[in-house]
Chain A
Amino acid sequence: MSDGLLPGFSDAVFGAQGCFRAILAALSEPGTVHALGGDLAPPAPLCPAAAAVVLTLADPDASLVHDAGPVADAFLRFHTGAPEAELATASFVLATGAMPPLAALTPGTDEIPSAGATLVVQVESIEEGEGWTLSGPGIDGLRRLKVTGLPDDFPAQWAANHARFPRGVDVILCAGDRLAGLPRSVTLAVTLEA
């Protein structure tokens, strides 16, 4: 089974630190899009950004559920050590196909809101400057973000997710080697284009 394994970050420390810095920036300034660069070449169907996020954040203490198939499973578990879990209890959920409903993931508890899951979603594209209007912590005024490849009811799901703050699910959107973050604290409005 291990014969098809691929390497992870060419430098595990600097690769993960660079990606962590990008995730930190993406979640602290929602709506900004960050390109990772780097040379991570994950197996299909993983995109470089989604694979980098999971390699950076998941570990033997943080469980992972994904829909990416056996080859990607061997790759992700070999490099992270993250255990399997049920969707409802996983620390990290990676969706390369249709994303699971946000309500299906653990939002943590009022005592330990940090136990809320992080959903990593591979989408078709993410672009700054158009699309949704975001507001909230980390945004001076308003910021625009256009995402292609999410279910139509995502804004409604997000409203319900945001409403249970401090509990909730955080989302990292990945396309190619680019990523953007939607922390549970952000308010998302569908912009009506003229």
Chain B
Amino acid sequence: MYVSVKGGEQAISNAHAWLAEARRGDAALPELSVEQVEQQLTLAVDRVMAEGACADRGLAALAVKQSRGDLIEAAFLLRAYRTTLPRFGGSLPLDTGAMRLQRRISATYKDLPGGQLLGPTFDYTHRLLEFSLAAAGEAPPPAPEMEPEEPGPPPRVTALLAQEGLMAAEPEGDDDTPPPDLTRDPLSCPASRALRLQVLARGDEGFLLGLGYSTQRGYGNNHPFVGEVRMGEASVEVVPPELGFAIDIGDITLTECQMVNQFKGSLTEPPQFTRGYGLVFGHNERKAMAMALVDRALRGAELGEDGGAPAQDEEFVLYHCDNVEATGFVEHLKLPHHVDFQSELENVRAMRAAQQ
């Protein structure tokens, strides 16, 4: 039973005033600008864009500032804001093969066309705290430059395997039929792979990381290789009805992971490699790789593999990976349940009395 009660307005208003002051911190220090968040906490902003499922760096940076750095709260703010905007339509599918790369690595081939581009990575740093960053310093010197050995985007690793017929082709779709959209129709299982990828792309990084890790530790056996991780900019194209032709409306930064897994084959399919796929807004390799592992695990049934591991359980994964939903339901427990609890209390007292 729900009973509505009133009260607490003054307490709420005072609590919000304190929140605003706490967010500002010591007023003797300069206030953090949204531009500073956007420029200097870039990976936090990227994570909020991905989990908020809305690519807009300025809005995500504002959400990070407003939420005092609570990134799940920030994703929640971004999701709430996007509901105020009209939907103009859908883009053409991104051509991630044509990305202008900042980073591109493969764990399957050492010397692959286009090479291994490390880009701005934490890999190979020593994970020693840099106390020089604690002192206000000068801007670092510009990064070195070299003329590229080959022009243009390099071929994909999956294409190299496909040339030998060793990479299972991805089913082609009909681009005129819009894919299923979680923001329009509620999730239902069994879900198509298109819907699963949408859910995973906006899913919680930590949850997917744990699930992806579990597949490596024996819960859903598949032995993955990073065929390729790419990070860079891709063009977004739309076909405005008033123009009737495709136009390029700007660049978006993405991280893509193609994970390569062995597949023993079936009655109809020869032994070959299959793909797990991750694609995420911004620069976030951990999320893209975890997404690729979980995508591949969720394809187990389709590929006739033994199921039963948590990462292979579609309902379990898809219904619990959204951190805005999860935090809503977990945190709602702190809202008043005074009446519910009163009835529990009476129940327990009655049971205790009956027992004695």
Indicate if A touches B (C-beta under 8 A): yes
| CB atoms of A81 and B89 under 8 A apart | yes
| CB atoms of A78 and B87 under 8 A apart | no
State whether the Cβ of B8 lies closer than 8 Å to any Cβ in chain A.
no
**CA A59 to CA B86, docked complex, whole Å:** 8
| CB atoms of B241 and A81 under 8 A apart | yes
Contact with A along B64-92 (1 / 0, CB 8 A): 00000000000000000000001111000
- Residues of chain B at interface, number, CB under 8 A: 9
State whether the Cβ of B110 lies closer than 8 Å to any Cβ in chain A.
no
| CB atoms of A61 and B184 under 8 A apart | yes
| Given contact pairs A59-B86, A59-B87, A61-B87, A78 touches B242 in the complex (Cβ within 8 A) | yes
State whether the Cβ of A45 lies closer than 8 Å to any Cβ in chain B.
no
**CA A2 to CA B243, docked complex, whole Å:** 8
The closest CB in chain A to the CB of B242 belongs to A2
Kindly list chain A residues whose C-beta atoms are within 8 Å of the C-beta of B87. Answer: 59-61
| CB atoms of B88 and A81 under 8 A apart | yes
Q: Which residues of A54-70 have CB atoms within 8 Å of chain B's CB atoms?
A: 59-61
Contact with B along A48-90 (1 / 0, CB 8 A): 0000000000011100000000000000011001000000000
| Given contact pairs A2-B242, A77-B241, A60 touches B184 in the complex (Cβ within 8 A) | no
Smallest Cβ distance from B300 to chain A, in angstroms?
34
**CA A78 to CA B244, docked complex, whole Å:** 12
- Residues of chain A at interface, number, CB under 8 A: 9
**CA A61 to CA B178, docked complex, whole Å:** 12
**CA A61 to CA B242, docked complex, whole Å:** 18
Smallest Cβ distance from A118 to chain B, in angstroms?
19
**CA A59 to CA B241, docked complex, whole Å:** 13
The closest CB in chain B to the CB of A59 belongs to B86
**CA A81 to CA B311, docked complex, whole Å:** 40
Kindly list chain B residues whose C-beta atoms are within 8 Å of the C-beta of A78. Answer: 241-242
**CA A2 to CA B86, docked complex, whole Å:** 22
Kindly list chain B residues whose C-beta atoms are within 8 Å of the C-beta of A81. Answer: 88-89, 241
Smallest Cβ distance from A16 to chain B, in angstroms?
10
Contact with B along A123-164 (1 / 0, CB 8 A): 000000000000000000000000000000000000000000
Smallest Cβ distance from A77 to chain B, in angstroms?
6
Q: Which residues of B237-252 have CB atoms within 8 Å of chain A's CB atoms?
A: 241-244
Kindly list chain B residues whose C-beta atoms are within 8 Å of the C-beta of A2. Answer: 242-243
Kindly list chain B residues whose C-beta atoms are within 8 Å of the C-beta of A1. Answer: 244
The closest CB in chain B to the CB of A5 belongs to B242
Q: Which residues of B78-128 have CB atoms within 8 Å of chain A's CB atoms?
A: 86-89
The closest CB in chain A to the CB of B244 belongs to A1
The closest CB in chain A to the CB of B241 belongs to A77
**CA A2 to CA B89, docked complex, whole Å:** 19
**CA A169 to CA B87, docked complex, whole Å:** 26
Smallest Cβ distance from B82 to chain A, in angstroms?
15
The closest CB in chain B to the CB of A74 belongs to B242
Kindly list chain A residues whose C-beta atoms are within 8 Å of the C-beta of B242. Answer: 2, 5, 78
Kindly list chain A residues whose C-beta atoms are within 8 Å of the C-beta of B244. Answer: 1
**CA A73 to CA B241, docked complex, whole Å:** 12
Q: Which residues of A1-50 have CB atoms within 8 Å of chain B's CB atoms?
A: 1-2, 5
Kindly list chain A residues whose C-beta atoms are within 8 Å of the C-beta of B88. Answer: 60, 81
**CA A80 to CA B62, docked complex, whole Å:** 30
Smallest Cβ distance from B235 to chain A, in angstroms?
22
The closest CB in chain A to the CB of B87 belongs to A60
**CA A119 to CA B24, docked complex, whole Å:** 53
The closest CB in chain A to the CB of B184 belongs to A61
Smallest Cβ distance from A4 to chain B, in angstroms?
12
Contact with A along B234-268 (1 / 0, CB 8 A): 00000001111000000000000000000000000
A-B pairs, 9 with minimum CB distance? A2-B242, A78-B242, A60-B87, A60-B89, A59-B86, A77-B241, A81-B88, A81-B89, A61-B87
Q: Which residues of B contact A (CB under 8 A)?
A: 86-89, 184, 241-244
Q: List 18 A-B contacts (CB under 8 A).
A: A1-B244, A2-B242, A2-B243, A5-B242, A59-B86, A59-B87, A60-B86, A60-B87, A60-B88, A60-B89, A61-B87, A61-B184, A77-B241, A78-B241, A78-B242, A81-B88, A81-B89, A81-B241
Given contacts A5-B242, A61-B184, 16 further A-B contacts (CB under 8 A): A1-B244, A2-B242, A2-B243, A59-B86, A59-B87, A60-B86, A60-B87, A60-B88, A60-B89, A61-B87, A77-B241, A78-B241, A78-B242, A81-B88, A81-B89, A81-B241
